[in-house]
A = this chain, B = another copy of it.
Amino acid sequence: MRQDDEAPPYVPQAPTAYGKPPPGWRRHMYDVIFEADTPAGRRFDIALVCAILLSILVVVLDSVPRLHHDHAELLNVLEWGFTVLFTVEYVARLVCVQRPWRYAGGFYGVIDLLAVLPSYFSLLMPGTELLLDIRILRLLRVFRIFKLTLYIEEYTRLGEALAASRRKILVFLSVVLMAILILGTVMYVVEGPKNGYTSIPVAMYWATVTMTTVGYGDITPHTNLGKAIASFMMLMGWGILAVPTGIVTAEMTLRHGDRRMGPARTARHCPSCGSGGHEAGARFCKDCGAALPAGHGGAK
């Protein structure tokens, strides 16, 4: 399809931005770690993804009380094993690029560092509560999986579609937030602290739970007026929340449609002035007026 040729191809942050080193062992390492097209690079990437997934599994399993109690030793060893592995990998990345600071300061460099820091941090401060607060950063390792997905074209399209609706989404979000603020306050006034609406922020939390149709039921209206307002909110909420679906669907249908239903143009070029993109039915060049060769149906 022609549009695709013209559309600027999505360029993921090129690893060469960090500088390809001159031939030698560093170049060899670079090819293995940063390149994805060579067989060695491919194997490295697949191994890395497995390691990341396994390290996440260890963190997740370690959080289950029973497993933590029974296998504390093993899980701890595994956790440190992965931490050391990722540290080695991080150092190797630093070593084999031409401009290490550029890598360290870039998005993936920071993520790679954050993926190992919490473990070392927990050595210095063994406080349980703090450790838990820091452990959250560990999960950022997950983002490394995104490296894989850079090669999957679909992500790009999804991102493009959402970026194209950026302004619409912002407007929608501000309307929703205003509605949540106003309706939350109304319910705070109507129901009051005695029915669970202890403050406006809590009432706004309830309004969000209601408008997104989640409906936990931890806070529910008890007065008749409150129930009436909540009923109205639910119906309105559905209408409002039909909008993001509408935005995404419209974007997808048209993006899709452009490709499929696109204008029936032919690949013919004017023999006189060389201009292209003529309609399937055109018999004369729309730019210079010269006769066009009879089309063979045209491109699809």
Contact = CB atoms under 8 A, between A and B. Distances in A.
A117 interface: no
A239 to B, nearest CB: 5
Interface stretch (A10-18, A71-79, A93-101, A182-190): A182-190
A133 interface: yes
Interface stretch (A26-34, A102-110, A212-220): A212-220
Interface string A182-225: 10011011001100001111101100111011111110100010
A294 B260 CA distance: 28
18 contacts: A60-B201, A63-B201, A132-B189, A142-B181, A145-B174, A154-B168, A208-B235, A214-B214, A246-B249, A249-B249, A249-B250, A254-B256, A258-B261, A275-B283, A276-B280, A283-B286, A286-B286, A287-B287
Contacts of A202: 227
Give the top 4 A-B pairs by smallest Cβ distance, nearest first: A274-B294, A284-B289, A214-B215, A216-B217
A149 interface: yes
| Tier of interface size on chain A | 35 or more
A244 B218 CA distance: 28
Contacts of A258: 260-261
A297 interface: yes
A116 interface: no
A276 B296 contact: yes
A239 B235 contact: no
Contacts of A185: 59-60, 135-136, 139
Q: How many copies does the complex hold?
A: 4
A269 interface: yes
A60 B200 contact: yes
Nearest to A282: B286
A22 interface: no
Contact of A252 (B182, B220, B250): B250
A215 B209 contact: yes
B297 A287 contact: no
Given A65-B193, A254-B253, A297-B276, A210 B201 contact: no
A257 B269 CA distance: 27
Given A202-B227, A276-B298, 10 more contacts: A133-B189, A205-B231, A212-B235, A217-B217, A218-B220, A249-B253, A281-B286, A281-B287, A284-B287, A289-B289
Contacts of A261: 254, 257-258, 261
A114 interface: no
A154 to B, nearest CB: 4
